[in-house]
Structure 1
Amino acid sequence: MSAEERRESVIRAAIAEFSRGGYDGTSTEVIARRVGVSQPYLFRLFPNKQAMFLAAVERCFTDTRRVFAEAAEGLEGDAAVKAMAAAYQRLIVDDPDKIQMQMQTYAAVASADASGEKELGDAVRAAWLGLWDDVHLALGADPGETTTFLAYGMLVNTLASLGFPAGHRVWSGFYDEVRPTT
């Protein structure tokens, strides 16, 4: 396996492990073990644990941005909103580590900011702003639409993270077309 392929493998493993244990609760040893490499080799690919975490965070944001862009391509208004919402719900249903990683990311930023480690939060906020900008443009650059869409997204994140099954009464009020299907 090339170094780039191994790096990709580490990012996937980091998402899986950080999504379960969070930043503070996940050791680089467990990531190395999951990938099948030594810790010293892991640190040849990434300079430190924070760099691994940020690579995992960036991958999640990149994947989400790609899903939104593909779903909204050629659509406008309500059709774009519904397509993006449905695509996002499929993403988090098909890959539950993505939603858990998001939630762990927000917790890690709060913890890092509270302890004065602004670097992590700054990097995550920059990635989130990229997501905001993509959604904003896809929804016609309407601040209200963007805010509403992302607010519903955070509600979906919370409900999914809490394990509410599709069809539960807490999901009512969403477009019928975008209700979770699992």
Structure 2
Amino acid sequence: MSAEERRESVIRAAMTEFARGGYKGTSTEAIAKRVGVSQPYLFRLFPGKEAIFLEAARRCCERTTQVFKEASEGLEGEAAHHAMGAAYQALIADDPDLLLMQMQMYVAVASAEASGDREFGESVRAGWMEMYDTARLALGADVGDATHFLAYGMLINVLVSMGFQPDHRVWTGFYESVQPRQ
């Protein structure tokens, strides 16, 4: 396996490990073990744990952004809104670790900010802004529509990450509010 292929394996393994254990709770040893490499080799690919986490976070945002772009291609407004929403729901259903990684990104940035490290969150915020801008453009550059879309996305994130099953009553208002307008 080439160094680039191994690096890709590390990113995928890191997304899984960080999704499940968070930034502070995940060791580089666990990531190395999942990939089947030594820690010293891991540090030849990445300068440290923070760099691995930030690359995993970037990849998480990039993947979600790509799903939004593909789903909304050739669509506008409400059609784009529904297509992106359905594509996002399918994405997190197919890859629950992606959702958990996203939630861990928010926790890690908030934790870093609380301890005075604003720089840590800069690249995560940049990735999130790319998602925001992609959704906003697909929705006709309307700030209100983009805010509404992403607010419901966060509601989905919270409900799914907390384990609420699709038939739980907490979803009722969500389902009613996202039905296409007649």
Regarding TM over 0.5, the answer is yes
1:4-15 pair list within 5 angstroms: 4-15=4-15
1:154-169 pair list within 5 angstroms: 154-169=154-169
Measure, in 2, the Cα distance between the counterparts of 1:77 and 1:129: 19
In the TM superposition, what is the alpha-carbon distance from 1:167 to its structure 2 partner? 2.1
- 1:98 aligned onto 2:94: no
Measure, in 1, the Cα distance between the counterparts of 2:59 and 2:45: 16
Render the CA deviation track for 1:14-58: whole Å, top value 9, x for unaligned: 000000110000000000000000000000100010000011001
In the TM superposition, what is the alpha-carbon distance from 1:174 to its structure 2 partner? 3.5
Measure, in 2, the Cα distance between the counterparts of 1:120 and 1:92: 25
CA RMSD of aligned residues (A): 1.3
- Aligned amino acid, residue 149 of structure 1: F
- Aligned amino acid, residue 49 of structure 1: K
Count residues in correspondence. Answer: 178
Counting aligned pairs with the same residue, the percent is: 67
Render the CA deviation track for 1:82-110: whole Å, top value 9, x for unaligned: 11000000001110001110111100001
- 1:107 aligned onto 2:107: yes
Render the CA deviation track for 1:119-147: whole Å, top value 9, x for unaligned: 21111111111111111101100011000
TM-score by length of 1: 0.94
Which blocks of at least 5 consecutive residues in structure 2 are unaligned? none
- Aligned amino acid, residue 120 of structure 1: F
Which blocks of at least 5 consecutive residues in structure 1 are unaligned? none
- 1:23 aligned onto 2:23: yes
CA contact (8 A) 1:71 1:84 kept: yes
Equivalent residue of 1:173, what SS?
A: helix
Measure, in 2, the Cα distance between the counterparts of 1:105 and 1:16: 13
Render the CA deviation track for 1:139-160: whole Å, top value 9, x for unaligned: 1000110000000000000000
2:70 alignment counterpart = 70
Measure, in 2, the Cα distance between the counterparts of 1:105 and 1:40: 25
TM-score by length of 2: 0.94
Measure, in 1, the Cα distance between the counterparts of 2:159 and 2:18: 20
In the TM superposition, what is the alpha-carbon distance from 1:175 to its structure 2 partner? 4.8
Point out the more displaced range, 133-142 or 164-173.
164-173
In the TM superposition, what is the alpha-carbon distance from 1:173 to its structure 2 partner? 3.2
Q: Which consecutive segments of 4 or more residues in structure 1 shift more than 4 A?
A: none
